[in-house]
């Protein structure tokens, strides 16, 4: 299997928490990408474990681990200025990260409103929905209006498209998951934006003809935070016994859990038209897989699970996560 590159969209297949951050970080290092653009907002956290440090990223693209990668915040994103500046400092990426001038700003009033009203559907309370509402009403503050962001401003779609025209390698990093989409998800228990592959391209300003690959990321089981339907949900005690009890990166809330759902996965394939799949946390489902870097070294049961996914979804599994570190990946493209 070979990714054609230069432009790949990384999108979540379930309800977020699929491990997109780890996959983006791995691709950035392995394929030596030139740029990565983060879409979405601070209500989605991406976890990257790199050189013994665990990063919970809400603004900085996960590709920061590759030091030659230029990092961008897409014009369709919403920026919490304090979160952005804090993460820039923590990841030491100043000088190679830019924010589109038309990215909209999450203000204190948005956070207050979200926390006062978002409990009905179990939002993260980060102010994203109210900020997007202001954008729709055409009253939003933009990045170009914020003094602290002046040195980071750029025309991100122009920069990305110029790179692609020079055959540069670009990752578009989506957030959350297919079924949290405002349009295609389990409404009203959804986020405030569309989250599928085509929407990621739209937020970044990349036309569909410039996309070479869509990588759809699934976890080996399903989790979701907050309210909303979860078919096959197991109780907390059973999730704990199986090792599936997790906490959300942004809110610290416990994630509800269920076995891998082929019906949801099939619909995610339909909505995103992936060229490749990634399956993460195979080592949680099958602990003997921990740290394995070769498909041939996987136990038979784990191999059968991957093959069942490929047979039912009719898409090849290119990457398999076998541990928390960025390098814990079986790369079947090689």
Q: With contact defined as beta carbons under 8 Å apart, do 214 and 12 qualify?
A: no
Helix and strand element counts for the chain (H, E): 10, 16
Closest Cα to residue 283, out of 314, 313, 321? 321
Task: Give yes or no: 184 in active site.
Answer: no
Under DSSP, is residue 20 helix (H, G, I), strand (E, B) or coil? Answer: helix
Instruction: Kindly report the number of other CB atoms within 10 A of residue 22's CB atom.
Output: 28
* Measured distance between the N- and C-terminal CA atoms of the chain, rounded to whole angstroms: 7
Cα(7)–Cα(172) distance, integer angstroms: 8
| Active-site residue (options: 17, 34, 213, 283) | 17
| Active-site residue (options: 31, 34, 46, 213) | 46
Cα(195)–Cα(11) distance, integer angstroms: 8
Closest Cα to residue 67, out of 51, 84, 83, 43? 51
Nearest-5° angle of CA 80, CA 193, CA 274?
115
Beta bridge pairs of residue 277:
216, 317
Beta bridge pairs of residue 329:
321
User: What secondary structure does DSSP assign to 229-242, as a single string?
Assistant: --TTPBPHHHHHHH
Cα(67)–Cα(318) distance, integer angstroms: 24
Name all contacts of 269-274 with Cβ < 8 Å and 24+ positions apart: 269/216, 269/313, 269/314, 269/315, 271/178, 271/184, 271/196, 271/197, 272/11, 272/13, 272/178, 272/196, 272/197, 272/214, 272/216, 273/197, 273/214, 274/11, 274/197, 274/214, 274/215, 274/216, 274/315
Task: Give yes or no: 89 in active site.
Answer: no
Active site residues: 17, 46
């Amino acid at each position: 299997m070979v990714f054609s590159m230069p432009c790949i969209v990384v999108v979540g297949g379930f309800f977020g928490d699929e491990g997109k951050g780890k996959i983006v970080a791995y691709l950035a290092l392995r394929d030596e990408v030139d740029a990565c653009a983060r879409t979405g907002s601070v209500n989605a956290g991406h976890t990257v474990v790199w050189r013994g440090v665990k990063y919970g990223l809400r603004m900085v693209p996960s590709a920061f681990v590759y030091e030659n990668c230029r990092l961008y915040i897409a014009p369709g994103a919403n920026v919490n200025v304090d979160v952005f500046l804090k993460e820039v400092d923590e990841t030491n990426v100043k000088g190679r990260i830019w924010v589109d001038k038309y990215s909209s700003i999450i203000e204190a009033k948005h956070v207050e409103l979200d926390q006062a009203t978002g409990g009905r559907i179990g939002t993260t309370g980060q102010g994203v929905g109210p900020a997007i509402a202001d954008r729709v009403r055409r009253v939003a503050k933009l990045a170009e209006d914020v003094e602290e962001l002046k040195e980071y401003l750029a025309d991100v779609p122009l920069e990305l498209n110029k790179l692609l025209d020079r055959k540069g390698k670009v990752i578009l990093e989506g957030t959350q998951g297919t079924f949290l989409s405002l349009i295609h998800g389990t409404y009203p228990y959804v986020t405030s934006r569309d989250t599928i592959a085509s929407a990621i391209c739209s937020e970044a300003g990349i036309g569909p003809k410039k996309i070479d690959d869509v990588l759809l990321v699934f976890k080996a089981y399903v989790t979701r935070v907050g309210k909303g339907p979860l078919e096959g949900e197991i109780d907390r005690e059973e999730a704990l016994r199986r090792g599936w009890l997790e906490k959300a990166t942004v809110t610290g809330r416990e994630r509800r859990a269920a076995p891998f759902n082929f019906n949801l996965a099939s619909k995610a394939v339909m909505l995103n038209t992936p060229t490749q799949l990634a399956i993460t946390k195979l080592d949680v489902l099958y602990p003997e897989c921990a740290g394995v870097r070769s498909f041939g070294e996987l136990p038979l049961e784990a191999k059968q699970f991957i093959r069942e996914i490929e047979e039912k979804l009719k898409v090849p599994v290119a990457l398999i996560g076998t541990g928390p570190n960025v390098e814990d990946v079986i790369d079947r493209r090689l």
